[in-house]
Chain A
Amino acid sequence: MASLFQLLFLNQKRSLSTKLSTTKWKVKQVTTSNFSESLKEIKTHISSSDFIAISMEKTGSSSATPWHRVQPFDTAETAYLKATQSAQRFQLLQFAVCPFSVTDSNKIVAHPYNFLLFPRDELKLGMPAYSFLCQPSHLASIARQGFDFNTCIYEGISYLSRAQESIAKIRLGTGSPSLGVMKSSSPPTVVDTVFIKRIRSRIKHWRNTCKNSGTKTSKHEEIIDSLRNIVLGSEQFKSRPCLNIDVCSERQVQLILQMIADFSDDFVSLVIPSKGGTTQAVRVVLANSREDKELLEKELQSLEDEESKKIRGFREVIDLISASEKPVISHNCLNDCTLIHSKFIAPLPSEVDDFVSSLCKFFPKVVDVNYLMKKSGTMKKSTNIRNALSYLNTHFFAPVDMEIPDQDTVNKGKTDGLDALRLSYLFMKLCSVLKISPIVTPLDNRQLVPELEDFAFHPCSANVQESSCNEDVTVWTNNTKKINCEHLVFLWGFKFGMTAGMLKSALRDSNDIFSEEFDVRFIDKSCAVVVFWQPGLSKDLVNVMNAEEISGGLKELISDGLRVTGYETYRTMCRLGLWEMNLAESLERALESSLSDEKISSERKPSEIQWCNDNVLNFDDL
């Protein structure tokens, strides 16, 4: 007994000490004011690290409404649709990134950063977001944790997704081909030759004037010079003389560019775009010498970089992570990845398969810590990072040393975005509990340790928790008995205040269908799910409900307003995006539209239907 107490005491002490150390952790806060230098810093840290832990804060979360959360009875498809909905509607407020390296079996070196984000419309194009949703309850809860909304909104870094960047470039006109890229594709026609001749003489004339302007003698000549400049359209560009030549087609642009390249090597040509994305004019700048030309070109290049940095904003960091191909550690993969995809890559595709393949192009390796914990049996319930950490602290002995080299340089007193750091700590602890050695040897740098490979985000573990490629789902979080989703029936319209037990007994008395084994689980106040452990009964029930004559207790229930529908309606509802507060309301609306909605079901790709059928058959064979 005494030893037990001692152990408990020790445990308590240890958790106390780790608690102390976590409160001391600091995270470097990044806003618009220090973004460029932090970007350089994090670049080196990312390239030298083994893993990158990420965590995000949004303006709302789906957890406020129980059924909007991913439930155990969700298939990969519906879970993805739920995540999509939340990713699209809410806005990112902060993105914590923590590149870390494993130096020893229980030591990590971490470089935590927290980027504050705000979707400011830097380019006046209505991007990245015209509007976004906020959940007051969620905002209040992060406010309680001390989140500073003023800093976030005043100084948050903006961004554009890849898709938005290409749209922006077209609209700003910076996407058009620049100097010397294109070669004349077709042989020159007579018109072309005439055009070139004319332009060439004009440029020649202008060049001579420029070169001679230094030797002007009288006032008259000066006046003539300036008049000539006006006539020729000569201007100054970066304190060098330049000439704008208006063009009316892309062909002409090509011709001019080529001609100038052949003409003389002290010219730098620039394409001036119009608002519609076409070229308006070509600007020819006369450099003083070869060195001057190089200088000018360099200057232009850095200008362009600056511009595109302004366009991409925070996405630079995402691109760095993506380019590094380092394994990304996330706590709730599906939510994080849908969010990243919709904000930084492109709008989310409607099919989960497309999403996974698109994501894999950018993030080939994502490890879901939540899934890792569940799958390994360390922890059954999914919670947030902090709870998971304290659970591990109290239940396992797995000391992990955390070293944060830049602690002194980070802003004082700021602990926002600690979750990414905590996550890296949690990950390491978990590895040590599970006796996985995450240390990456230099040889197989691109590979994950095989034990971790199982938990990486790839099509078949795509979703979340338990679900899979097939249509089998569980209903209870603690009971992993799998069942085909066709055996589920959604039930609503019963009396307010019923418990699962009451509903179950009422159902049992109502009809013969319920004489077999079945279970009831409430999803929210308005709706319950009924599980038939025998195949076919779910269809029978729906048929009975739609039949002309209903008898017995079921009739009574129906007259009270009881409604029943199968899993297909639930799926339709998720597809249509009917996210009402109550599941019952959404299902009701889905039923309304499902009649007119054969279009949607037939739109589902044939391969997918086969895929479903296969699985259903397999299940029956078993």
Chain B
Amino acid sequence: MKPRKLYSLALSRALSRALTSSTTPSQCAFPLKTVTVANFEPSLEELRHHVRSSDFVAIDLEMTGVTSSPWRESFEFDRSDVRYLKIRDSASRFAVVQFGVCPFRWDSSNQSFVAYPYNFYVFPRQELAGFGPCNEFLCQTTSINFLAKYQFDFNAFIHEGISYLSREQEKEAIRSLNSMHDSECSNISKLNDVRDLPSINMADILFTERMKNKFSEWRDGLLQEQSQPNQIQGTRKDSKQRFDVIFFKKHPALKLDGFTSRQLKLVQLVIKKHFKDLSYIKVNNAGSSSQQIVVYTDSEEELNLLLKEVNEENHRAKKMKIQAAVGFRHVIDLLSSEQKLIVGHNCFLDIAHVYNKFIGHLPGTPEEFVASVNKCFPHIVDTKLLMNTDNMLQVRMKKSRNSLGSAFSMFCPQIAAGSKSTELVSPSHVKIDVEVDDSRLSSWNPGGKHEAGYDAFMTGCIFAQLCCDLGVDFKLHESLKLATNEKLQKYINHLYLSWMHGDIIDLSTGDKVANSSPSYSPKRRYPNILFENIVIIWGFPSNVKSSDVRECISKVFGLTSVVSVYQLDATAVFVQFSKTEQVSDFLSLKENLERSNGPISVLHPLAKLLDGGNTCAANYDTYKEICGSPLSQDLFADQANAVTMTPKSKLIEFKVALRSEEHENPSLQDNVNDVAVNFVEKIKPNSIDQLRNVQSTGQASPFEIEDSRVAEANL
């Protein structure tokens, strides 16, 4: 009943939307196919066709948020693996609300690209009992507000968003279904198992008696006059309860309708107690509703045969249900199986979301992640990287903001303006038409809504233009294989792990690539970040500023000991020492001071920092561990305390124990992975971070940095 209601609601909404859109002039807005539950099936088929014939597919995602707490934002003190852990945290906590897919096809007859923008509303609704896409998701208030600013339709998202199951979840659901099926097959008689109702009242007894009469009447009728099975048994007109005489798999049967669950239980009891040749069967249809049927069978064998058949059918119906619950993932499977070139804009986080929502849990290291992504999507290209690594293109960007919107109006002014006017169309500009529902358009009003489908379209346009600028000749379409085009080769499968640092990761090899562009100049204020020289301090008194921290530590370790102090949030700072051994010196000194309560510790220069007794300090590996934790606290100090409270070594033993039981616990597994990564890290130094440090030599003295930071904090 419920799904039908939902469907009708969705239908009415779709209708009303269609009506409102038809009243407004068609040229008004950017043409875009909006897909919800109501029109998912046909749109998927259509999209399948478009993707197959496309040259590349641009994607874009809208999420409910980016960072779960202020300290999980991107910092300059984040090593690439820490950066990945932050992205993993973001992708596993937030939900995708909209998924834009836009296949682009080169139309050689028109010498232009045709784009098919699709805008999918996605909502992690639980379609299967026990196997939902997720139990809860996080919303970042600012992100929700941002979506609201662009009139995002939250009702469409929640009412009509398409649900999904990841590959992992589907496997899990099928496994549990099969094991249930097996156990049911082994004792088929259990299907008819009824437990007594706890309390039976007068109404129940009356009802039971009535049912007993009804069934015996019907059965006797069957036995005596085989010719009149169609006679409808005196159903009261005013009652909702109905018995429809049907044939169920060539057996005479009664279909029960309009009974409450308690009444059905009573019916079950009556049948079990009083009728040997009747049996109560629950049939799951391919649709969502299940049917209750009372069947007459001649013999036990016949009954068993029937039950087996029903069981098989129910099993099949459930499998169909799982298939249906896969929902939006069919789109991802399509993109993956067609192996088309996927185009995104600054899309590492997007890819992480795609992986987490539709493939499985995110692995613990960037290398593992990249390897599994490469298996699903062999060709990915990032327009932001393309714009920023190529010298020529960068000159065109003129160091302007490279947000998607500004890049779009920069590279594709004629499309951004949406006009057909020929003055803007210069030969160097790629022509792009939009086709929605078989009607092709090349002009529309500028300034599309900030929607995933439009963003995907913009990304695709930028990519097409960039290809053109790089000298890719679309006219030689027979040989147009963008994914293997040598002019694009050095960009394909390279993604920014962190835009801020310019860290690039190669998806096909898992290697980190240094930014080769000489003109690339990330705004870096902290040269020479040596992660092994870093101590993280949290939980100090709230009146201690980062300048105080520097002062305290400088008094003990010398004026030049502290290279930089970086405020993580109100409760924590990074301190980079000039020498690695000072890290352990500082940690042991702190421990000693805390142990002794004498006057020395009170007068010690560090006393100010340790005042209050809650100050904690740890090295960089602990910071990584804290970032990788599934816990989430708003303040770093709270998070750090929560994480460091549980001993890690225990978890490994526990995990081993769990594995033997074949239990799967993602969060735990992740933790163990983190520990494992810690070990790897010690053996293999992080190449990219070294590269970074070699690249930049200190231009500013540490003190200047410190001051500018403080000044900024005071603003």
* Minimum distance in angstroms from B364 CB to a CB of chain A: 19
Within 8 A of B (CB), among A81-128: 91, 118-121, 126
Kindly list 11 other residue pairs between chains A and B, CB separation below 8 angstroms, not including A120-B141, A153-B144, A275-B715: A130-B140, A130-B141, A132-B141, A134-B137, A136-B126, A136-B133, A149-B154, A150-B155, A576-B645, A577-B642, A596-B645
A129→B645 CA distance, assembly (Å): 26
Pick from A65, A130, A154: contact of B634, CB under 8 Å: A130
- Determine if A140 and B5 form an interchain contact, defined as CB atoms under 8 angstroms apart: no
Cβ of A60 < 8 Å from any Cβ of B? yes
Among residues of A, the one whose C-beta sits closest to the C-beta of B715 is: A275
- Determine if B125 and A121 form an interchain contact, defined as CB atoms under 8 angstroms apart: no
Task: Please name all residues of chain B whose beta carbon is closer than 8 Å to the beta carbon of A319 when the two chains form the complex.
Answer: none
Q: Given A134-B137, A143-B159, A154-B148, do A561 and B661 touch, yes or no (CB 8 Å)?
A: yes
Within 8 A of A (CB), among B640-698: 642, 645-647, 650-651, 654, 661, 665
* Minimum distance in angstroms from A123 CB to a CB of chain B: 12
Among B65, B132, B646, the most chain A Cβ lie within 10 Å of the Cβ of B646
Which of A288-296, A372-380, A585-593 lines the interface with chain B? A585-593
Cβ of A182 < 8 Å from any Cβ of B? no
- Determine if B714 and A130 form an interchain contact, defined as CB atoms under 8 angstroms apart: no
Cβ of B124 < 8 Å from any Cβ of A? yes
- Determine if B70 and A130 form an interchain contact, defined as CB atoms under 8 angstroms apart: yes
Cβ of A181 < 8 Å from any Cβ of B? no
Task: Please name all residues of chain A whose beta carbon is closer than 8 Å to the beta carbon of B148 when the two chains form the complex.
Answer: 153-154
- Determine if A592 and B155 form an interchain contact, defined as CB atoms under 8 angstroms apart: no
A593→B158 CA distance, assembly (Å): 38
Task: Please name all residues of chain A whose beta carbon is closer than 8 Å to the beta carbon of B70 when the two chains form the complex.
Answer: 126, 130
- Determine if B155 and A143 form an interchain contact, defined as CB atoms under 8 angstroms apart: yes
Cβ of A137 < 8 Å from any Cβ of B? yes
- Determine if B132 and A130 form an interchain contact, defined as CB atoms under 8 angstroms apart: no
- Determine if A275 and B714 form an interchain contact, defined as CB atoms under 8 angstroms apart: yes
Cβ of B519 < 8 Å from any Cβ of A? no
Interface string of B113-147 (1 = CB under 8 A from A): 00000000001111000001111111111101100
Chain B interface size, as a band, is: 35 or more
Within 8 A of B (CB), among A570-598: 576-577, 581, 585, 588-589, 592-593, 595-597
Task: Please name all residues of chain B whose beta carbon is closer than 8 Å to the beta carbon of A136 when the two chains form the complex.
Answer: 95, 123-126, 132-137
- Determine if A137 and B126 form an interchain contact, defined as CB atoms under 8 angstroms apart: yes
A537→B455 CA distance, assembly (Å): 65
- Determine if B714 and A276 form an interchain contact, defined as CB atoms under 8 angstroms apart: yes
* Minimum distance in angstroms from B384 CB to a CB of chain A: 26
Among residues of B, the one whose C-beta sits closest to the C-beta of A140 is: B125
Task: Please name all residues of chain B whose beta carbon is closer than 8 Å to the beta carbon of A135 when the two chains form the complex.
Answer: 135-136
- Determine if A593 and B138 form an interchain contact, defined as CB atoms under 8 angstroms apart: no
* Minimum distance in angstroms from A391 CB to a CB of chain B: 15
- Determine if A592 and B646 form an interchain contact, defined as CB atoms under 8 angstroms apart: yes
Pick from B69, B140, B159, B654: contact of A592, CB under 8 Å: B654
Interface string of B270-296 (1 = CB under 8 A from A): 000000000000000000000000000
Cβ of A64 < 8 Å from any Cβ of B? yes
The 7 closest A-B pairs by CB, nearest first: A149-B154, A131-B140, A593-B646, A136-B124, A143-B158, A592-B650, A135-B136
* Minimum distance in angstroms from A118 CB to a CB of chain B: 8
Among residues of B, the one whose C-beta sits closest to the C-beta of A133 is: B136
A109→B643 CA distance, assembly (Å): 53
Q: Given A64-B135, A131-B65, A136-B134, do A588 and B125 touch, yes or no (CB 8 Å)?
A: no
A588→B2 CA distance, assembly (Å): 37
* Minimum distance in angstroms from B273 CB to a CB of chain A: 21
A52→B590 CA distance, assembly (Å): 55
Cβ of A148 < 8 Å from any Cβ of B? yes
* Minimum distance in angstroms from B96 CB to a CB of chain A: 12
Cβ of A144 < 8 Å from any Cβ of B? yes
Cβ of A497 < 8 Å from any Cβ of B? yes
A589→B68 CA distance, assembly (Å): 23
A120→B140 CA distance, assembly (Å): 10
Task: Please name all residues of chain A whose beta carbon is closer than 8 Å to the beta carbon of B144 when the two chains form the complex.
Answer: 118, 153
A interface list, Cβ under 8 A from B:
59-60, 64-65, 91, 118-121, 126, 129-137, 139-140, 143-144, 148-150, 152-154, 275-276, 493, 497, 561, 576-577, 581, 585, 588-589, 592-593, 595-597
Among residues of A, the one whose C-beta sits closest to the C-beta of B149 is: A154
Task: Please name all residues of chain A whose beta carbon is closer than 8 Å to the beta carbon of B69 when the two chains form the complex.
Answer: 130-131
Task: Please name all residues of chain A whose beta carbon is closer than 8 Å to the beta carbon of B159 when the two chains form the complex.
Answer: 143
- Determine if A139 and B158 form an interchain contact, defined as CB atoms under 8 angstroms apart: yes
- Determine if A119 and B141 form an interchain contact, defined as CB atoms under 8 angstroms apart: yes
Cβ of B110 < 8 Å from any Cβ of A? no
A129→B188 CA distance, assembly (Å): 54
Cβ of B153 < 8 Å from any Cβ of A? yes
Task: Please name all residues of chain A whose beta carbon is closer than 8 Å to the beta carbon of B145 when the two chains form the complex.
Answer: 120-121, 153
Between A and B, 25 residue pairs with Cβ closer than 8 Å are A59-B139, A119-B141, A121-B145, A130-B69, A134-B139, A136-B133, A136-B135, A136-B137, A137-B135, A139-B158, A140-B125, A144-B5, A149-B154, A149-B158, A150-B154, A153-B154, A154-B148, A275-B715, A581-B135, A592-B651, A592-B654, A593-B645, A593-B647, A595-B647, A596-B645
* Minimum distance in angstroms from A12 CB to a CB of chain B: 13
Within 8 A of A (CB), among B131-185: 132-142, 144-145, 148, 153-155, 157-159, 183
A576→B633 CA distance, assembly (Å): 13
A130→B141 CA distance, assembly (Å): 6
- Determine if A131 and B155 form an interchain contact, defined as CB atoms under 8 angstroms apart: no
A275→B134 CA distance, assembly (Å): 42
Among residues of B, the one whose C-beta sits closest to the C-beta of A146 is: B9
Among residues of B, the one whose C-beta sits closest to the C-beta of A119 is: B141
* Minimum distance in angstroms from B24 CB to a CB of chain A: 19
Task: Please name all residues of chain B whose beta carbon is closer than 8 Å to the beta carbon of A593 when the two chains form the complex.
Answer: 645-647, 650
Task: Please name all residues of chain A whose beta carbon is closer than 8 Å to the beta carbon of B645 when the two chains form the complex.
Answer: 576, 593, 596-597
Task: Please name all residues of chain A whose beta carbon is closer than 8 Å to the beta carbon of B183 when the two chains form the complex.
Answer: 497
Cβ of B544 < 8 Å from any Cβ of A? no
Cβ of B6 < 8 Å from any Cβ of A? yes
- Determine if A60 and B715 form an interchain contact, defined as CB atoms under 8 angstroms apart: no
Among residues of B, the one whose C-beta sits closest to the C-beta of A276 is: B714
* Minimum distance in angstroms from B631 CB to a CB of chain A: 8
- Determine if B646 and A133 form an interchain contact, defined as CB atoms under 8 angstroms apart: no
Among residues of A, the one whose C-beta sits closest to the C-beta of B147 is: A153
- Determine if B158 and A595 form an interchain contact, defined as CB atoms under 8 angstroms apart: no
Task: Please name all residues of chain A whose beta carbon is closer than 8 Å to the beta carbon of B133 when the two chains form the complex.
Answer: 136
Task: Please name all residues of chain B whose beta carbon is closer than 8 Å to the beta carbon of A576 when the two chains form the complex.
Answer: 645
* Minimum distance in angstroms from A594 CB to a CB of chain B: 10
Q: Given A143-B159, A592-B646, do A133 and B137 touch, yes or no (CB 8 Å)?
A: yes
Task: Please name all residues of chain A whose beta carbon is closer than 8 Å to the beta carbon of B642 when the two chains form the complex.
Answer: 577
* Minimum distance in angstroms from B701 CB to a CB of chain A: 26
* Minimum distance in angstroms from B44 CB to a CB of chain A: 22
- Determine if A121 and B141 form an interchain contact, defined as CB atoms under 8 angstroms apart: yes
* Minimum distance in angstroms from A584 CB to a CB of chain B: 9
Task: Please name all residues of chain A whose beta carbon is closer than 8 Å to the beta carbon of B140 when the two chains form the complex.
Answer: 130-131
- Determine if B158 and A140 form an interchain contact, defined as CB atoms under 8 angstroms apart: yes
Task: Please name all residues of chain B whose beta carbon is closer than 8 Å to the beta carbon of A91 when the two chains form the complex.
Answer: 139
A60→B136 CA distance, assembly (Å): 8
* Minimum distance in angstroms from A511 CB to a CB of chain B: 22
Q: Given A131-B65, A131-B139, do A585 and B124 touch, yes or no (CB 8 Å)?
A: no
Task: Please name all residues of chain B whose beta carbon is closer than 8 Å to the beta carbon of A153 when the two chains form the complex.
Answer: 144-145, 148, 154
Task: Please name all residues of chain B whose beta carbon is closer than 8 Å to the beta carbon of A592 when the two chains form the complex.
Answer: 646-647, 650-651, 654
Among residues of A, the one whose C-beta sits closest to the C-beta of B143 is: A131
* Minimum distance in angstroms from B646 CB to a CB of chain A: 5
A126→B145 CA distance, assembly (Å): 12
A119→B183 CA distance, assembly (Å): 50
Among residues of A, the one whose C-beta sits closest to the C-beta of B137 is: A134
* Minimum distance in angstroms from A401 CB to a CB of chain B: 32
Among residues of A, the one whose C-beta sits closest to the C-beta of B713 is: A276
A149→B2 CA distance, assembly (Å): 20
Among residues of B, the one whose C-beta sits closest to the C-beta of A561 is: B661
Task: Please name all residues of chain B whose beta carbon is closer than 8 Å to the beta carbon of A585 when the two chains form the complex.
Answer: 665
A129→B138 CA distance, assembly (Å): 12
A307→B311 CA distance, assembly (Å): 67
Task: Please name all residues of chain B whose beta carbon is closer than 8 Å to the beta carbon of A121 when the two chains form the complex.
Answer: 141-142, 145
A59→B65 CA distance, assembly (Å): 16
